[in-house]
Amino acid sequence: MSNSQGELIKTEIDNKVKSKTRNSIKKSILNHLTQTLAKDKFSATKLDMYTSVALTVREYLSERWSKTQRAYHDKQAKRIYYLSLEFLMGKSLINSLVNLGLYDEFDDVVKEFGTTLQEIDATEFDAGLGNGGLGRLAACFLDSMATMGLPGYGYGIRYEYGIFFQKIVNGYQIETPDPWLRYGNPWEIPRPELLYPVKFYGYIAESTDAEGKHHCEWKDASEVMAMAHDISIPGYKNNTVNNLRLWAAKSTREFDLSYFNHGNYEQAVSDKVITENLSKVLYPNDNMRQGKELRLKQEYFFVSATLQDIIRRYKKYYAKDFSLFPDKTAIQLNDTHPAVAIAELMRLLIDGEKLTWDESWAITTKTFAYTNHTVLPEALEKWSVELFAKILPRHMQIIYEINSRFLNEVAKKFPKNSDILGRMSIIEEGEDKKVQMAHLAIVGSHSVNGVSALHSDIIKDSLFKDFYLMWPSKFNNKTNGITPRRWLVACNPALSNLITEAIGDKWVKDLYKLKELTPFANDNSFLEKWEKVKLENKQRLSEYILKANGIKIDPESLFDCQIKRLHEYKRQLLNILHAISLYNILKENPKAIQSKRTIIFGGKAAPGYHMAKLIIKLATSAANVINNDKDIDGMLKIVFLANYGVSLAEKIIPASNLSEQISTAGTEASGTGNMKFALNGALTIGTLDGANIEILEEVGEENIFIFGLNSAEVDQLRNKGYNPADYYNSIDSLKKTIDMISSGFFSPDEKTLFEPIANSLLYHDRYLLFADYESYIKTQRQVEKEFSDKKIWTKKSIFNVAGSGKFSSDRTIAEYNKNIWRLKSVPIKMGRK
Ligand code: MIF
């Protein structure tokens, strides 16, 4: 048989399989419409269509899920448990189809029903169970673990309300609840039989038995049940389907019965509601601790249920022999939010399994690894000892014991240094003593990592310097990454197809392959296709903006995007200062710049963060004035898009030309939005902060716009004594801009509205906006100049994509696995049952 005959036969078989698949997809969707939902094609709504399609996808997932779990079981594989209070999953339908390799088949079938996948997708709610980068990173990691065939499990909370919906009313942010479960969630499987009790409050009764052994019993505690809900995590075209287990709070059965016995039905019902409030809502703060009792209870609730579940799974194989526990179990702590797990595992091993302290401690420290995500002091978790001891009395005892043994070690290692004990203690002394969760996490883990090269250096050189000197080999870097499946294949199909036409499709699983795009930057017809894809994405976003904000923008203009949580350190304000100063330039001469510009903002502010909310109001107010000023001839438009989240990011990023990554050097641990933009062909304007530095290394300095002070210069300036007023007094355009803000130019009805912003800059400027202002403005003029030469810009866009290989979360996860978890990947074969 000749080669081409072979090919023909293969194609024919492929087509038969595909048509069989299409038939069974169609049958199943119909079945769900008519049987599960009791509808027909006349009465079916969009939501019914979505639900039926999702339930059909779920059948494919479930089959693979069972196979995967069975394979892990049969191999007694080592597992990695990723504990996170946040998983920012976004929507599941399109992503599942892409990963299952069934997108085209479903697309065809759905059209036969008179709709499209895009239309159905619009019905899905985002699973917004996170705030920002930290939660989205967890979601990308799950995708990579599954794609790499690693036995990875996510564990978190099934919040009934995720991150709030943001509306912009009269220029202000208004928060409304996110009822993402209102129409049910076809992606989750509730497991009412999987229930664990979790205790709070009460006291510890200590006793010594006849053999002289010491025992602790947690008495009079109130109990909440944790009920599991499972969500499938499909790998990319490899049949692996991993599990994300989210816990919901339920009141106990005894509780339910007690109202019969005591007759106080109303009280019992209201107590039940209070108990179940535990998993009601996600705290909407990013990079900011709040110190609320309910939050500490959430942290312990999910940690305790998770560890009970992990131990149950381990004991199925090894019964009471815990010696293999660290060989079979790796636990990664996503920030300190789940750090109480260290004390909880000690408690379960000592009080529950009757192991000795030393045995338990050896197991604990070999099992846990901790990722730090921030150096901002206001984000580092500290719990008052009083509150901690009230809620978790046994854990407080255990932490004191861990601390006392640890400080003995410190004293031995640094005998002549008495200050160091105070600095390193897990307990911060003072009037209101605090448990410093990062210290607990470091002491109880065998690995501590930062999330970019710079951030990991800062951890070693300053934030955790003493700990680094004590245990240098514990500390390591794992530069963040993003999944190319969601952040290119699914969100930018046109660019994804163009890349595949040029270099084949291996890049989806091996992102370094994108380097092969480099020579195509010299191919004019390729450049044209690249430009066309970007322009069409921009047209689509322009239509969205017109619908959402009523603002008409020019798709040919430079799309300049800053989309991320609102935080002073991220310096959205610096971007606004630039917009205003550009407006002033254009007011004098609309022809003064070389490229028309559209500045796009998106981002939520924590509901209690007043300055961040005022910055949103300033952005929308400046937009109002500037967008409606005929003098500037439409050369500048500003758009603030409401309710930024995963789904909106998927619309904006493929359409952007310029990615704003302008945090004060040394403040943004990594950033991951920066990577998503580069992967979709936007050029970065940024500081030497977080992963920007590594993007610069990968794409080359000609293909990125770097400005401002580096982190060493920031430190120097701060140490020397920084005076923002000096800059205000010496830079005319800055002075004019600040004066316009403070004098009410953008708030004519409320002249003093933005005074607090101007004053905080003039008198404090904690994030050194004034120091970086000139350099930023100058660099923006350079951006316009380069954007005006389409061909050069497009080449640079290609070089950015070609240089994005390092930023796949597959690479990140491979590093975690090689250095920290050490799991074997488990291939999943489908075949016969
Ligand atoms: C960091 O601020 C961000 O720089 C990092 C943080 O990229 C991300 C993931 O590592 O984690 N509370 C936080 S920490 N929110 C984030 O986005």
**Which tens digits make up the pLDDT trace of 686-737?**
999 999 999 999 999 999 999 999 999 999 999 999 999 999 999 999 999 9
Pocket test for ligand 1, best of 567, 670, 812 (most atoms within 8 A of CB): 670
pLDDT band at residue 2, thresholds of 50, 70 and 90? Answer: low
Please provide the size of the chain in residues.
833
pTM: 0.98
pLDDT reported for residue 401 = 98
Atom 14 of ligand 1, nearest CA residue: 373
Q: For residue 570, indicate whether it is catalytic.
A: yes
Cα gap 465→521, rounded to integer Å: 45
Residue 132 Cα to ligand 1 midpoint, Å, equals 7
Region 569-576: mean pLDDT is: 99
Q: By 3-state DSSP, what share of the chain in percent is helix, strand and coil, each rounded to 5?
A: 55, 15, 30
Cα gap 58→198, rounded to integer Å: 31
Cα gap 412→414, rounded to integer Å: 6
Catalytic residue from among 32, 439, 460, 565: 565
Q: For residue 67, indicate whether it is catalytic.
A: no
Task: Indicate if the pLDDT at residue 807 is higher than 90.
Answer: yes
**Which tens digits make up the pLDDT trace of 484-508?**
999 999 999 999 999 999 999 999 9
Question: Percent of the chain having pLDDT more than 70?
Answer: 98
pLDDT reported for residue 6 = 75
Q: For residue 10, indicate whether it is catalytic.
A: no
Using a 6 Å cutoff on CB, does residue 134 contact ligand 1? yes
Q: What is the DSSP letter of 438?
A: H
Q: For residue 664, indicate whether it is catalytic.
A: no
What is the layout of strands, in order, in the sheet containing 434-436?
A: 382-384, 434-436, 427-428
**Which tens digits make up the pLDDT trace of 426-450?**
999 999 999 999 999 999 999 999 9
Q: Which two tokens stand for residue 753?
A: 């509205």
**Which tens digits make up the pLDDT trace of 58-88?**
999 999 999 999 999 999 999 999 999 999 9
Q: For residue 272, indicate whether it is catalytic.
A: no
pLDDT band at residue 4, thresholds of 50, 70 and 90? Answer: confident
Q: How many angstroms from the chain centroid is the CA of residue 607?
A: 19
Using a 6 Å cutoff on CB, does residue 667 contact ligand 1? no
**Which tens digits make up the pLDDT trace of 457-477?**
999 999 999 999 999 999 999
Backbone conformation region of residue 414, classed left if phi is above 0, alpha if psi is from -120 to 50, else beta? beta
Cα gap 250→276, rounded to integer Å: 5
Using a 6 Å cutoff on CB, does residue 672 contact ligand 1? yes
Q: What's the one-letter identity of residue 46? A: K
- Whether the Cβ atoms of residue 205 and residue 48 lie closer than 8 Å to each other: no
Using a 6 Å cutoff on CB, does residue 455 contact ligand 1? no
Cα gap 90→167, rounded to integer Å: 18
Catalytic residue from among 382, 439, 564, 795: 564
pLDDT band at residue 3, thresholds of 50, 70 and 90? Answer: low
Q: What's the one-letter identity of residue 143? A: D
pLDDT band at residue 263, thresholds of 50, 70 and 90? Answer: confident
Atom 9 of ligand 1, nearest CA residue: 134
Pocket test for ligand 1, best of 86, 134, 371, 695 (most atoms within 8 A of CB): 134
Q: What's the one-letter identity of residue 480? A: N
Region 661-677: mean pLDDT is: 99
Catalytic residue from among 373, 460, 538, 597: 373
Region 581-608: mean pLDDT is: 98
Comparing C-alpha atoms, which of 691, 642, 703 is closest to residue 454?
691
Secondary structure (DSSP) of 73-86? HHHT--EEEEE-S-
What's the mean pLDDT when you consider all of the chain? Answer: 97
pLDDT reported for residue 96 = 98
Residue 501 Cα to ligand 1 midpoint, Å, equals 35
pLDDT reported for residue 833 = 44
**Which tens digits make up the pLDDT trace of 187-242?**
999 999 999 999 999 999 999 999 999 999 999 999 999 999 999 999 999 999 99
Comparing C-alpha atoms, which of 252, 253, 235, 233 is closest to residue 243?
233
Question: Percent of the chain having pLDDT more than 90?
Answer: 94
**Which tens digits make up the pLDDT trace of 301-342?**
999 999 999 999 999 999 999 999 999 999 999 999 999 999
Atom of ligand 1 minimally distant from the CA of 480: 10
**Which tens digits make up the pLDDT trace of 170-179?**
999 999 999 9
Using a 6 Å cutoff on CB, does residue 674 contact ligand 1? no
Residue 35 Cα to ligand 1 midpoint, Å, equals 45
Task: Indicate if the pLDDT at residue 264 is higher than 90.
Answer: no
Comparing C-alpha atoms, which of 681, 664, 660 is closest to residue 598?
660
Using a 6 Å cutoff on CB, does residue 117 contact ligand 1? no
Core vs surface per residue 457-486: b (16+ CB within 10 A) or e: ebbbeebbebbbebbeebbbbbbbbbbbbb
